[in-house]
């Protein structure tokens, strides 16, 4: 019997897609969750574990002895991380330290999901050779986690991706679904014209993660759409694709949003290396939104 793939953070947007894709491919996924409930395919084992609890993590990994661990678990509330840096460090950095220690004991391969927020956004988009320089607590804790993984004596791959777009749940929609909901209700949506980044089509992201694992790719890999876009242009494009009123999208500067944490303004990721290694062209921003429309609306 094949050894399982252990997915930490399985109730999140990417985690759920990975579990579903692994199941469709006839693999043996194990969903590791914290406290949120999710509907997984029949027969998928679900195990509760707090990533910041070292002994809990060790026992979970030892119990299943997986072939590979994919860690999607993170505290991703960027403003929340700024307000509660201790929680951010426990989940985003210490949690990864716990996984790495347990994985090393069993010589288990690890795929760590990271973010474009490890960069300062001064001169993006960035490729894998660019030097990280985070400007907020979220980015710092994720970069510290990357350092832990890079220094680990195991086969490991760090995948950076930004701004996930995919079908969420009623309680936890993705950020574009929140945009669409606001526009459908006739609410004016403020979107920064000076915050530029790439986004990631989650179904494509899940497919690429498994493809990279199949090739035993190690080191760093950037995944996402084929080009950067401002939050304002993304919101206008989403309105167009979903047949909504584009005039409800109001252009503002990022400073007008009065967020707690700084964000990279000229950010995003260059995906040329991944396209070459995986032999595929990543979707455009429009194609990503059209796929979301097809999944959520059916047209």
- Confidence (pLDDT) at 37: 74
Check residue 38 and give its pLDDT.
Answer: 76
Residues 147, 200: Cα–Cα separation, whole Å:
23
Question: In the structure encoding, which two tokens stand for residue 238, read together?
Answer: 């989403």
Count of alpha carbons within 13 angstroms of residue 270, beta-carbon side: 11
127's CB contacts (< 8 A; 6+ apart) are: 222, 269, 270, 272, 273
Q: Is the pTM of this model over 0.75?
A: yes
Contact between 254 and 263 (Cβ < 8 Å): yes
pLDDT tens-place values along the chain, 299 residues long: 589 999 999 999 999 999 999 999 999 999 999 876 778 999 999 999 999 999 999 999 999 999 999 999 999 999 999 999 999 999 999 999 999 999 999 999 999 999 999 999 999 999 999 999 999 999 999 999 999 999 999 999 999 999 999 999 989 999 999 999 999 999 999 999 999 999 999 999 999 999 999 999 999 999 999 899 999 999 999 999 999 999 999 999 999 999 999 999 999 999 999 999 999 999 999 999 999 999 998 75
What is residue 2's predicted lDDT score, i.e. its pLDDT?
A: 80
| b/e burial code for range 157-185 (CB count within 10 A of at least 16 → b) | bbbbbbbbbbbbeeeebbebbebbebbee
- Bridge partner residues of 222 (DSSP): 160
């Amino acid at each position: 019997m094949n050894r399982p793939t252990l997915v930490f953070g399985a109730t999140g947007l990417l985690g759920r897609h990975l579990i579903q894709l692994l199941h469709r491919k006839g693999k043996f996924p194990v969903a590791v969750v914290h406290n949120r409930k999710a509907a997984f395919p029949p027969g998928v084992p679900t195990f509760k574990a707090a990533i910041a609890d070292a002994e809990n993590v060790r026992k979970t990994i030892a119990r299943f002895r997986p072939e590979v661990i994919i860690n999607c678990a993170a505290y991703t509330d960027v403003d929340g991380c700024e307000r509660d840096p201790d929680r951010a460090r426990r989940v985003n950095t210490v949690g990864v330290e716990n996984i790495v220690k347990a994985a090393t004991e069993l010589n288990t391969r690890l795929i760590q999901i990271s973010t474009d927020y490890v960069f300062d956004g001064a001169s993006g988009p960035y490729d894998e050779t660019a030097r990280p320089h985070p400007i907020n607590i979220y980015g710092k804790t994720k970069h510290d986690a990357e350092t832990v993984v890079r220094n680990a004596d195991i086969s490991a791959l760090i995948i950076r991706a930004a701004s996930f777009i995919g079908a969420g749940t009623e309680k936890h929609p993705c950020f574009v679904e929140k945009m669409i909901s606001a526009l459908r209700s006739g609410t004016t949506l403020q979107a920064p014209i000076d915050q530029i980044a790439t986004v990631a089509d989650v179904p494509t992201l899940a497919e690429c993660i498994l493809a990279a694992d199949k090739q035993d790719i190690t080191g760093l890999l950037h995944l996402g759409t084929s080009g950067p876009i401002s939050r304002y242009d993304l919101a206008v494009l989403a309105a167009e694709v979903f047949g909504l009123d584009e005039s409800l999208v109001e252009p503002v500067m990022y400073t007008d949003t009065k967020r707690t944490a700084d964000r990279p303004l000229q950010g995003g990721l260059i995906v040329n290396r991944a396209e070459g290694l995986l032999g595929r062209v990543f979707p455009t921003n429009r194609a990503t939104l059209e796929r979301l429309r097809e999944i959520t609306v059916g047209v």
